[in-house]
């Protein structure tokens, strides 16, 4: 850690990446559990009742982190896809593949918790509002990516085709992000922004941050664990994998 010059390209070799990911996973998982427990405790017992929305607002503590993660994971996928297309590194494609299911899950959670929140607050499960619709499109993009990858049997072509699709779909992200500003529809505006004080009680804000960090840690743990499986699967014919599994490989 302390040495100034780490050779980052070292980890673009699947064997080194596998070891690094294996070191990260348990710590990230531990962090996710600790932060998750702390965040849930804060959100259920410490955060005060909202004066307008009552207890129902507590859904925000899962809804907003999930919505953030759904967009953020897509952007991370787009970055890895671009790196993969430019530098032709296999590990970046593996990261794209590993990120997709988690991103789809967070998108689904954001939509679902939003529906549960919408029923008591707006009196409806679903409206065809700009932000809801664009988030739904995001879910379709994730599903389309996974469908494309799974239907192409040549993994190299699947990787590159998927990466291109992700980069094309990235136009949707600013649309979701700005949708509450551009269209004045039912979804409420953002309560938190980078250049202004949050318009909510400070304890609520910090609870939200803790929950978001918990989601981050969870994502890191799950994605690296999944990436490790993908590395093993793709590299199953190499010597280092055969040595790793102790010669139990048959093909």
Determine if 157 is a binding residue for other proteins (CB under 8 A).
Answer: yes
Residue 67 half-sphere exposure, CB side, CA atoms within 13 Å?
A: 22
Determine if 161 is a binding residue for other proteins (CB under 8 A).
Answer: yes
Task: List phi, psi (to 5°) of 250.
Answer: -105, -30
Residue 193 half-sphere exposure, CB side, CA atoms within 13 Å?
A: 9
User: Is 103:77 a contact under the CB 8 Å cutoff?
Assistant: yes
The CA-CA-CA angle for residues 173, 59, 215, to 5°, reads: 55
C-beta of 160: minimal distance to other proteins in Å? 4
Give whichever of 3 and 151 is closer to other proteins, judged by the CB atom: 151
Determine if 180 is a binding residue for other proteins (CB under 8 A).
Answer: no
Determine if 15 is a binding residue for other proteins (CB under 8 A).
Answer: no
Task: Name residues contacting other proteins, limited to 114-133 (CB under 8 A).
Answer: 133
Determine if 37 is a binding residue for other proteins (CB under 8 A).
Answer: no
When binding is defined by CB under 8 A, the residue of 33, 79, 170, 175 that contacts other proteins is 175
Torsion-angle region of 243 (φ positive above 0: left; ψ -120 to 50: alpha; else: beta): alpha
Determine if 186 is a binding residue for other proteins (CB under 8 A).
Answer: no
Residue that the structure tokens 């469908």 belong to: 147
DSSP 188: P
Determine if 151 is a binding residue for other proteins (CB under 8 A).
Answer: yes
Q: Which stretch binds other proteins (CB under 8 A): 64-72, 145-153, 204-212, 220-228?
A: 145-153
What's CA 69's distance to the chain center, in Å? 4
User: Is 44:190 a contact under the CB 8 Å cutoff?
Assistant: no
Determine if 164 is a binding residue for other proteins (CB under 8 A).
Answer: yes
> Contact residues for other proteins (CB under 8 A)?
133, 137, 140-141, 143-144, 147-148, 151-152, 157, 160-161, 164-165, 167-169, 172, 175
């Amino acid at each position: 850690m302390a040495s100034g010059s780490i050779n980052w390209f070292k980890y673009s070799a699947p064997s080194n990446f596998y070891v690094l990911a294996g070191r990260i996973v348990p710590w990230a998982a531990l962090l996710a559990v600790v932060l998750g427990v702390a965040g849930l405790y804060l959100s259920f017992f410490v955060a005060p009742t909202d004066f307008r929305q009552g207890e129902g607002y507590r859904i925000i503590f899962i809804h907003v982190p999930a919505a953030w993660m759904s967009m953020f994971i897509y952007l991370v996928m787009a970055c890895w896809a671009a790196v993969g297309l430019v530098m032709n590194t296999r590990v970046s494609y593996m990261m794209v593949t590993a990120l997709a299911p988690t991103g789809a899950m967070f998108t689904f959670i954001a939509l679902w918790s939003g529906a549960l929140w919408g029923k008591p607050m707006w009196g409806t499960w679903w409206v065809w509002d700009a932000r809801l619709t664009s988030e739904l499109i995001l879910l379709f993009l994730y599903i389309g990516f996974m469908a494309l990858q799974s239907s192409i049997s040549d993994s190299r072509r699947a990787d590159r085709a998927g990466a291109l699709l992700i980069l094309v779909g990235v136009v949707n992200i600013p649309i979701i992000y700005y949708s509450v500003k551009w269209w004045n529809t039912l979804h409420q505006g953002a309560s938190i922004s980078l250049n202004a004080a949050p318009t909510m009680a400070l304890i609520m804000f910090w609870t939200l941050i803790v929950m978001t960090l918990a989601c981050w840690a969870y994502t890191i743990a799950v994605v690296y664990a999944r990436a490790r499986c993908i590395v093993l699967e793709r590299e199953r014919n190499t010597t280092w994998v055969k040595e790793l599994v102790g010669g139990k490989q048959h093909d």
